[in-house]
Structure 1
C-alpha cells in the first residue's frame, strides 16, 4: 500500500487515498489498516484506473499496468493532512562551493579542444586528442 495525494482538493480531510495491489479486497485493506496501524476505518471505496497504452516498442504498442486506488474514510472524527515539506535552508551545500571554478576550467579545456578540431576537420575526435 502506498499513500497518494489527491489530485483535487474536493475530498474532505478525513478521506485518505492509497494505491493498493490489484488483488487486495476491501476486507483486506480494512484489516491491514486496523490490525497493523490501529487506524479506525469507517468506509472504503475502491476504483481501478486503466493503464492504457504507451509508446510503441518495435512497432507494437506497450500496455501499461492497471492501478487500483482505495479511498478510505477515517473514523472517530480523525483527519489527515500531508505534511508541508519546505527547504528552510536554501543555501548551497559546501560541496558545490568550488563548482564555479571547476566549470571555468572545463570551459577553457573545451575551448582548447575546439581550436584543435577546427584545424583538422576530417580527423575523428579520438584520434588527435
Structure 2
C-alpha cells in the first residue's frame, strides 16, 4: 500500500532495497474523558485496524487489546468573495485499548511554562511595588508641582 515507486532491478550486487510504507501515526489529546488504558492516535487514511495493532506491537512493543477507528470529515468552507467551496482533508482516528493494568497518561510537554508564568507574575508584582515606592517617595517634595513627580 505504498505510493513510492521502487525499481525492480538495480545493477550490481547485493540488491540493497528497503520497502517503506507511507504509514504514520500521531498521538492526539482526546477531546472527551477516556479510561486510563485508551490512547488516541491520528493515523494515515490507508491504515487499517490490523496495521495499527501490528505497528504498535512490533515497533514499540505496546500490548494492544483492541483498536477502533473512525473517520472525521474535514470542514467545508465557502469563499466569501468568489463563492468557491473548499474542503479540508479528512482525519482518521484510532482508539487503542491496552490491557486494564496498563495506564496511559498524555505527556505534559508544557510543564515548564507554568513555572515561568509564576516567575513572570512575581517579577511583575515586584515592579509594581517598586513603582508604588517611587511614587510615595516623590509625592511630597517641597517646591515641585505634583505632575513633575510622575
TM-score, normalised to structure 1, is 0.64
Give the Cα–Cα distance (whole angstroms) in 2 for the partners of residues 22 and 12 of structure 1: 25
Q: Are the counterparts in 2 of residues 17 and 71 from structure 1 also a CA contact under 8 Å?
A: yes
In 2, Cα distance between the equivalents of 1:44 and 1:70? 7
Alignment partners' CA distance in 2, 1:52 and 1:76: 35
More relative contact order, 1 or 2 (CA 8 Å, 6+ apart): 1
Q: Which residue of 38, 46, 55 maps to 1:15? A: 38
- Once residues 32 and 54 of structure 1 are traced to their aligned partners in structure 2, the CA distance between those partners, rounded to angstroms, is 35
Higher strand share: 1
Based on CA coordinates, which of the two structures has the bigger radius of gyration? 2
Conserved 8 A contact 2:39-2:95: yes
**Matched length:** 91
1:89 paired residue number: 116
Provide runs of 4+ in structure 1 moved above 2 Å: 83-86, 89-92
Structure 1 gap segments, 5+ residues each: 93-129
User: RMSD value over aligned CA atoms?
Assistant: 1.7
Structure 2 length-normalised TM: 0.56
| 1:17-55 deviation digits (Å, cap 9, x = unpaired) | 000011100111011000110000000000000113124
Note if 1:42 corresponds to 2:69.
no
